[in-house]
Amino acid sequence: MNDITLYNIADEALALEDLLISEGGEISESSEELEAYLSNLMATKTDSIYHVLSKLEDEAELADKHMKRLAMYKKARTNATSRLKEYSILCLEKMNKTGVSGDMAEVKMRKPAKVLNVLDENKIPSEFLTVETVVTIDKKALLSALKDGLVCEGANIADGAKSIQFKLKKVN
């Protein structure tokens, strides 16, 4: 039964519909048997799909946990790199040296780059200011207004995407 797909089941359902039409809409023994067979196939396929979806969701959750763990690992390594560089600068300063050479590598302290320190944004000349405008649509409010009868040429109400839900049945 593993080689039966949803497409095959749909094709069989269409064949059942054609059979019923050809028999004038009367239910025969063969059409009842075919309907029972299709119902059984669909129930089995539904259970299989539920298990596959459950496995995929578990794998996605596991991947999320690994990504969080790896992000923490990356942050720890980045912080360790920064601390080692700061410690190296401190050591060079204590020895009054600007650099040290080893057999394979060397370290040199550079003069710090000039950086901007803004003391008061209100006192900066306008030619150095940029203006950013962000326009967003309040979609919830617009939908509510459209439902209440607002006519808006730039928006309308449409059907959303179809969804499907699988869940385990409660066992009594």
* Long-range contacts, 21-27 (Cβ 8 Å, 24+): none
126 domain-assigned: yes
**What pLDDT is recorded for position 162?**
79
Cα separation, 1 vs 127, whole angstroms? 73
Cα separation, 52 vs 5, whole angstroms? 14
Using one digit for the tens of pLDDT, what is the confidence trace for 35-75? Answer: 888 888 888 888 888 888 999 999 999 999 999 999 999 99
CB-side neighbour CA atoms (13 Å) of 152: 15
Give the confidence band of 1 by pLDDT, cuts at 50, 70, 90: very low
Provide, for the chain, the percentages of residues in helix, strand and coil under a 3-state DSSP scheme, each rounded to the nearest 5: 55, 5, 40
Q: What is the pTM of this model?
A: 0.55
The tokens of 108 are what? 């040199």
**What pLDDT is recorded for position 158?**
92
Q: Whole domain around residue 130: which residue ranges?
A: 6-147
Between residues 108 and 18, the one the model is more confident about: 108
167 domain-assigned: no
160 domain-assigned: no
154 domain-assigned: no
Looking at the structure of the chain, the number of domains it has is 1
**What pLDDT is recorded for position 2?**
55
